[in-house]
Amino acid sequence: MPRCVELPVDDDLRAIARSIIELELSDVGWAERESDDEFRCGTYVGGYDADERAFCFAVFAGANELWFQLELDQVSDIATGAVDTYEARPAE
């Protein structure tokens, strides 16, 4: 299994999280709007995946592509600054 790495939340990810929260959608609302690339900012690209019931992102750290998921409550914590790190794993 690929090893996870802990990364700091940066301004780009916090901006994405704030954009998500501002839309005030529930899981059902996000599932109806499902998109794998709705959010693009800096080195991040991703969107809501209804099967995972989470926001799925790719982030490019140098030459490495990493993947991570955030549930709606985790997005809120990032947006408010309550969380300042997240875990990502190498892309498969």
Contact status, residue 90 vs residue 70, Cβ threshold 8 Å = no
Instruction: Taking residues 14-38, report their average pLDDT.
Output: 95
User: 5: closest CA among 81, 64, 82, 74?
Assistant: 64
Residue 1 has pLDDT above 70, yes or no: no
pTM: 0.92
Percent of the chain topping pLDDT 70: 98
Mean pLDDT of the chain: 94
pLDDT score of 2: 64
Residue 82: pLDDT band with limits 50, 70, 90: very high
